């Protein structure tokens, strides 16, 4: 169904049934494509479920190898979508043939289109000064009738107790169904895990640079490059100085560890998520 029209509205289910997870180096990646991700988020809203969603690629998986707490956050998520073709390929090798990339900017677009009909509400938190507000205006132009009830630009430091209380009060007043977090990985994952309960949020989604992509501050890779699994190289050419230390560490290590897992030379146990999500094991 990957080629269906972006404005098509999924039918919410009476209950939220978490999708199975595939084991990618011990991180449970939800076996989803873009259509089924929107359906799952619609179902979670309809069922009154709360939780956070991580949009997880090779970077997040490799960071989790050295940070058990971060791995636990991914595995305790409501969903951890496959952001990046390596996640998709690993899932398809484990038998999930319909698995497809669920990229943060694409997921935002699809959810805004669905919300035109469903009436779901959204809140944007993240980015530099003015970015969240620009994103609101961008989506309100593109998706008439979409309900974006507020924005917030957090400081570049941990929130103080008074700031958490003020933000929680705003979220209680505006009661958004989905709170979109535009921070970097793994900062946004830690933020969601730490603040879901204190803020009283319903569903939080960490979409990284999607705020900057949709407001035109950062150029996205062409679709054919995204599908090829070489988006990391495209982004490297655009911001070499900042991204080279990350990619030079992440890409070779991910390929090596993925090869060890696939050949069975090394096991990567996948802990049972706390919410009981089913999983597919590849040791």
Any idea what the CATH number is for the domain that residue 125 is in? Answer: 3.40.50.2300
3-class secondary structure, 200: coil
Residue 11 lies in a domain: no
Q: Spell out the residues 6+ positions from residue 193 whose beta carbon is closer than 8 angstroms to its own.
A: 52, 73, 76
- Give the chain's domain count: 2
Residue 81 lies in a domain: yes
Q: Tokens at residue 253, please?
A: 């290590």
Predicted model pTM: 0.85
Q: Does 211 share its domain with 252?
A: no
Domain, as residue range, for 209:
113-218
Q: Is the peptide bond before 84 cis (omega within 30 degrees of 0)?
A: no
Q: Does 92 share its domain with 121?
A: no
Q: Does 91 share its domain with 161?
A: no
Reading the chain (283 residues) residue by residue, the pLDDT tens digits are 444 444 444 444 458 899 999 999 999 999 999 999 999 999 999 999 999 999 999 999 999 999 999 999 999 999 999 998 999 999 999 999 999 999 999 999 999 999 999 999 999 999 888 999 999 999 999 999 999 999 999 888 899 999 999 999 999 999 999 999 999 889 999 999 999 999 999 999 999 889 988 987 776 767 777 677 777 677 777 777 777 777 788 989 999 999 999 999 999 998 765 443 333 333 3
pLDDT at residue number 101: 96
Q: Tokens at residue 224, please?
A: 């054919």
């Amino acid at each position: 169904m990957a080629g269906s029209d972006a404005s098509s509205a999924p039918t919410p289910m009476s209950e939220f049934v978490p999708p199975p997870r595939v084991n990618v180096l011990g991180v449970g990646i939800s076996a989803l494509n873009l259509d089924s991700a929107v359906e799952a988020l619609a179902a979670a809203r309809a069922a009154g479920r709360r939780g956070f969603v991580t949009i997880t690629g090779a970077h997040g998986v490799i960071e989790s190898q050295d940070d058990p707490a971060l791995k636990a956050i991914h595995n305790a998520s409501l969903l951890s979508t496959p952001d990046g073709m390596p996640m998709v390929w690993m899932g398809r090798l484990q038998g999930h043939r319909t698995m497809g990339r669920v990229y943060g900017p694409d997921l935002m677009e699809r959810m805004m289109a669905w919300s035109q009909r469903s009436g779901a509400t959204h809140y944007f938190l993240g980015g530099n000064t003015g970015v969240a507000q620009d994103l609101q205006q961008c989506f309100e132009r593109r998706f008439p009738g979409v309900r974006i009830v507020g924005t917030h630009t957090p400081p570049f430091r941990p929130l103080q107790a008074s700031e958490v209380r003020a933000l929680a009060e705003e979220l209680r007043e505006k009661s958004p169904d989905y709170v979109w977090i535009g921070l970097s990985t793994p900062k946004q994952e830690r933020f969601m895990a730490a603040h879901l309960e204190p803020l009283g949020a319903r569903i939080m989604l960490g979409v990284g640079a999607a705020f900057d992509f949709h407001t035109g501050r950062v150029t996205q890779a062409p679709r054919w490059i995204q599908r090829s699994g070489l988006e990391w190289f495209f982004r490297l050419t655009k911001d070499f100085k900042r991204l080279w230390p990350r990619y030079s560490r992440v890409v070779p290590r991910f390929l090596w560890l993925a090869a060890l897992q696939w050949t069975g030379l090394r096991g990567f146990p996948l802990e049972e998520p706390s919410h009981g999500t089913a999983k597919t094991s590849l040791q």
